Structure 1
Amino acid sequence: MANINLHNVSQAEEDLQLAKNDLIAFGKLFLKDDFMRSETPFFHYEVADAVNDLDIRQLAVILPRGHGKTVLTKCSIMHDFCFAEGPLFYGWVAASSKISVPNLDYIKYHLEYNDRVQYYFGDLKGKKWTEDDIELKNGCKLISKSNLSGIRGGAKLHKRYDLIVLDDFEDENNTITPESRSKINNLVTAVVFPALEPGSGRLRINGTPVHYDSFINNILVGYSKAQSEGNDFSWKVITYKAIQDDSTPIWPTWFGAEEMDRKKKFYADSGAPQKFYQEYMMEVQSEEDSIFNRNHIKYWEGDFKHDEETGISFLHSKDEGIKPLNIFVGVDPATDSTRRDSDFSVLLVVGVCPDNNIYVIDYIRKRSLPVLGIPGDFKKGIVDHIFEYNGVYHPSLFTIEDTTMSRPVFQALMAEMRRRNDFTVKYAAEKPGNRMSKRDRIQEILAQRFSVGAIHIKKSMYDLQREIITFGPRMGHDDTIDALAYACKYANPPNSIIEGKDGTYMKHKPRAKSWVTA
């Protein structure tokens, strides 16, 4: 650590004291080429404060491309190592060696050749000085890796990582398939997180979402959901779009309005307008590029009731009062062993009122859902939920996706009917077909209903809303909207229900005409 004389200090010592307490001041003093090119934007100060707060154990810095995430990381590592009062052990992960090696080269260069670093801190270069691993004379150690699994087993003597930074660790290449995205999630949670020093280790993520089901975007989704519901979230999240809601850029001196317009025009003229929204607006698929958008979604609030005496289901809407319903359920099982950990099994209930509006009443969306639960372990399977929904909602029809891998669902359903002596479940096996893609099939069923504003969901149905808004070629999951499409496939209004003069509803039962004629 530098020797700072707090009494009778010179200007140089004052500068050093300020740099110790202020990360941006450190950058301006020691890393001028990066920090003096432009006026420091407000969000850099926010990130700097969070980076220096040792009580923040999980920090996600999710900012547009080119907005200083990596520069701030380089600065914070330099700062921590220069002012270290004891040995620090850091890990730094990028998406490829083309990024991880230059990252470490930057640190090595400034520790070796930066005149100001040499003046204030002396020669810090230690005996180990390779392209992916360096150790300073003060005992600080930095490992820079090109993949998440490279962090596994890292330790300095008996100490685990004090800090691991995942810096733009996701890109278009490693998030292509559901399996690759699931692998990243598993590596972060099962390899990286356990590698931290217990009680003090910190995890920091820098990035821009590259896929709607990417780890970074799922943090954004979870954070937004926690905020809307007033719940705590395990990550401290700092995120901004390049252009704010008032149409002003967040970094006007570097990415001003003219520059952002130029970038937007470039992507549009290049035939990839969605890339601008992905790279700078933190939207993996923009509303301009999506098939459905927020304007297509209608909301409702209220309750569902079923009258056992008349056998009629009702919607109690806060805005529209009581409406009789026909109930339909769509079932999209993820029974493929290669998909069960990445896709969701979904059962979704809709009600159709006399004016042919669709109301999404309830749905179950779970990963790794078995076909049938094991008695005694309290874990329900798809078939158990079918019987449960049948008892609660009394649907006219379950429409279940029929594929080779979902055949066990039908076998278990028929076997369970015999075992329970309950044959009231009415279902149709619906083959996806080979003539059109899954996305085209979903669009064919739902497009007209969405276009006339006939589909209503609850605001709490976050996953369904997410899939509707992002429905298109770059969406993360389509399991919930697929179940909605199956539920709507044969949905029809309750034409056989009539309203009496006293305001009660009853099922119309046609009378047989007399054979006697005049």
Structure 2
Amino acid sequence: MAERALVRRRLLPFIKRHNRDYMAGWVHADICMRLEKFSQDVVEGKSPRLMITMPPRHGKSEIGSKTFPSWHLGRHAEHEIIVSSYSGDLAEDFSRKCRDLIEEDKFKAAFKTRLDPATKSVKKWATTKGGGFTAAGVGGPVTGRGAHIGIIDDPVKNREEAESETTRQKIKDWYSSTFYTRLAPGGGILIIQTRWHEDDLSGWLLSVLADAEREAAEAGVDLAADVDKWDLVEYPAIAIEDEKYRRAGEALHPDRYPIEALMRIKRTLIPRDWEALYQQRPVSEDGDYFTQDMMRYYHPKDRPPLSELRIYAAADLAISTKQTSDFSVIVIVGVDRDENIWVLDMKRGRWNSLAIIDNLFETQIKYKPEIFGIETGQIELTLEPFIQKAEQERKVRLRYQKLPTRGKDKGTRARPIQGRMEQGKVFFPTIESTPWMSALFNELMKFPLGRNDDIVDALAWIGQMLMMFGIKRAPKAPRKKSFLDKVRKFGGGKGRHKSSMAA
């Protein structure tokens, strides 16, 4: 009797009752405690939002998608639950486990919940109280099915899907237009995943919350009540710092993955996969495609004068003022006689067409770049008529060069600038001296896994331009006139030996 009462109240004893060999560590006890609170918040209509990220093969699905739903339905048979994963087959495996568990005698001895014999399909089954379980692949239909609890367990399958901007956007659209709309008032969302990318589903939802918090702080108001406030719980495989239950450097679940096993995995994986999958940091602090070792800095007072540089500019444009859209970016660089690239200035914002035109012409007037590169597409589709009109009105010619993408992905396009940085040939202003440098540095270190890459795209075009059109020799610094020069001036410059450098 006491055990049955305990499993009705507590999730971990419930799991152990149905699996006597279950190896529970502190992390599993912690997850169970959080899911118990999540369950109660759903019952009380508090609309809980819980996000749990942890490494592969550490038991997150066993708890969150296989046993938690059956435990919750044992307590609240009238509730409906939707569970989704990257494939419908995997979601159905979760469904089968929950359904079969509810059919066990041990479950029936502790709970009154019973399955409706008329609906026992792994895709959708019901209880006799009107609740039930629906399994669906991420991106699949759940129309006509409601949910007091919506669970998403690993929405992406692999690195290829995670790095596909198209796939990530499809997942976001499915979450917003399909999954989210099935939620009952006061219902809860549980996301359990291994991190892959800064802009994966978890990263995107956290960024939406961060944007809302920033806007509220800037306006001096409280965060709006309709904003989803996520409770984020991250479990790195190896503790990054001292935590409540372990010290820095200790393993997450040493009984299954001792530190030696984790270090073998770390040596096998490429750094970005280790940081994302096992440490739940989809972007390494040291960078991946671009690294901190590649960065060379200058103080503005130490930069060569503009008269000794050949100036180039490149623009990566996104015509929109929405807060969720990409940024438009203009990068201006100077190239010296030794072919060093000095990053001089950057403009960045979410601009409409007229604002883009203003920024393009401001750059042209201030820096007079020899080549102003703009990606094909935006020019022909939207901007060319505005540019032609502005040239007539402002009496300024925008000397732009259309840059063809030719189907290159972002990583391939960035290879030339990456190569120059590896050679120590690209110099950036110090972060302390330049307000926009912090955003530039963050994008470089997070590329290609970061949420934003507009600055990197513009820099990549600089590298492409210099490769396509070549680097012209920068002008020499003006030579101070000697006494002999002054004599020649008064003598009319007529000497028997004319310099080959004379104009």
Same fold (TM over 0.5): yes
Counterpart-to-counterpart distance in 1, 2:345 and 2:53: 33
Deviations 1:396-429 (A, max 9, x none): 337223436643456234323245x113364331
Residue aligning to 1:507: none
Q: 1:279, 1:185 → 2: CA distance?
A: 20
Compared CA separation, residues 287 and 409, structure 1 to 2 (3 A)? same
In structure 1, the residue matched to 2:401 is 429
Pick closer, same or farther for the CA change 1:437–1:106 going to 2, 3 Å: closer
Q: Given that residues 58 and 202 in structure 1 are in contact (C-alpha distance below 8 angstroms), is that contact kept between their aligned partners in structure 2?
A: yes
**Aligned partner of 1:249 among 248, 251, 254:** 251
Alignment of 1:348-363 (within 5 A): 348-350=330-332, 357-358=342-343, 360-363=345-348
Q: Tell me, in whole angstroms, the C-alpha distance in 1 between the residues paired with 2:362 and 2:11.
A: 57
Task: Quote the offset at 1:16 in angstroms.
Answer: 4.2
Return the offset for 1:17. Answer: 4.4
For structure 2, the residue ranges without an aligned partner over 5 or more in a row are 218-222, 241-247, 480-487, 495-503
SS in 1 for 2:266: helix
Alignment equivalent of 1:346, drawn from 328, 338, 343: 328
Q: Does residue 1:216 correspond to 2:189, yes or no?
A: no
Which residue, out of 42, 45, 51, partners 1:60? 51
Q: For 1:57 and 1:435, how far apart are their aligned partners in 2? A: 43
d(CA) in 2 for partners of 1:182, 1:249: 34
Specify which of 87, 91, 97 is matched with residue 78 of structure 2.
Answer: 87
Shift of 1:176: 5.8
Task: Give how far 1:436 is off.
Answer: 8.5
Mark the CA change 1:262 to 1:282 in structure 2 (over 3 Å): closer, same or farther. Answer: same
The 5-angstrom pairing of residues 250-269 of structure 1 reads 250-265=252-267, 267-268=268-269
Q: C-alpha displacement at 1:38, in angstroms?
A: 3.4
Residues 47 and 61 in structure 1, CA contact (< 8 A), matched pair in contact too: no
Identity of aligned residues (%): 17
Counterpart of 1:171 in structure 2 is 157
Shift of 1:295: 4.3
Say whether 1:75 aligns with 2:51: no
Which of 104, 114, 118 aligns to 1:124? It is 114
The 1:167/1:448 distance shift into structure 2, 3 A limit, reads same
Structure-1 separation of matches of 2:172 and 2:163: 14
Give the alignment partner of residue 182 of structure 2, picking from 179, 185, 195. 195
Task: Check the 8 A contact 1:60/1:238 in 2, yes or no.
Answer: yes
Amino acid across the alignment from 1:81: L
Aligned to 2:455: 480
The change in CA–CA distance for 1:438 and 1:151 in structure 2 (over 3 A counts) is: closer
Give the counterpart letter for 2:123 in structure 1.
Answer: D
Measured at CA, do residues 17 and 459 of structure 1 come closer, stay the same or move farther in structure 2, by a change above 3 Å?
farther
Q: Which moved more, 1:353-362 or 1:253-262?
A: 353-362
Higher helix share: 2
Q: State how far apart, in whole Å, the 2-side matches of 1:230 and 1:494 are.
A: 50
Shift of 1:103: 0.5
SS at match of 1:201: strand
SS at match of 1:193: helix
Give the partner amino acid of 1:383. Answer: I
- Equivalent residues of 1:104, 1:144 under 8 A apart: yes
- Against the structure 1 CA distance between its residues 516 and 323, is the aligned structure 2 distance closer, same or farther, given a 3 Å change threshold? closer
* 1:247-288 Cα deviation digits (max 9, x unpaired): 2222222221022123234x35xxx56544443123446578
Within a 5 Å distance, the mapping from 1:205-354 to structure 2 comes to 205-219=191-205, 234-245=229-240, 246-265=248-267, 267-268=268-269, 274-284=272-282, 290-297=288-295, 329-333=313-317, 344=326, 346-350=328-332
Q: How do 1:384-463 and structure 2 match up within 5 A?
A: 384-387=358-361, 394-397=366-369, 399-403=372-376, 406-408=379-381, 411-418=384-391, 421-424=393-396, 426-429=398-401, 431-432=403-404, 439-449=411-421, 452=424, 454-456=427-429, 457=431
CA drift of 1:77 comes to 1.3
Q: What is the CA-CA distance between 1:384 and the residue it aligns to?
A: 4.6
Q: C-alpha distance in 1, partners of 2:443/2:136?
A: 34
Q: Work out the CA distance in 2 between the residues paired with 1:46 and 1:361.
A: 48
How far apart are the structure 2 equivalents of 1:463 and 1:75?
A: 43
* Closer/same/farther in 2, CA of residues 437 and 137 from structure 1, 3 Å limit: closer
Unaligned runs of 5+ in 1: 1-11, 156-160, 301-314, 374-379, 499-511
* AA matched with 1:417: A
Q: Hey, what does 1:141 align to over in structure 2? A: 132
Comparing 253-262 and 43-52, the one that deviates more: 43-52
2:416 aligned partner, one-letter code? E
1:402–1:432: 8 Å Cα contact kept in structure 2?
Answer: yes
Mapped to 1, the partners of 2:297 and 2:239 lie a distance apart of 26
Where 1:164 maps in the other structure, the secondary structure is strand
Per mean C-alpha deviation after superposition, the further-off stretch among 425-434 and 136-145 is 425-434
Distance across 2 between alignment mates of 1:134 and 1:87: 13
Report if the CA contact (8 A) 1:333-1:406 is conserved.
no
RMSD: 4.5
Are the counterparts in 2 of residues 88 and 140 from structure 1 also a CA contact under 8 Å? yes
| Distance of 1:291 and 1:96 partners within structure 2 | 30
Is 1:108–2:99 an aligned residue pair? yes
Give the Cα–Cα distance (whole angstroms) in 1 for the partners of residues 193 and 214 of structure 2. Answer: 23
Deviation digits for residues 118-138 of structure 1 (CA, Å, limit 9, x no counterpart) = 211256121321111111123
SS at match of 2:417: helix
Change (3 A) 1:404 1:515: farther
State the number of aligned residues: 444
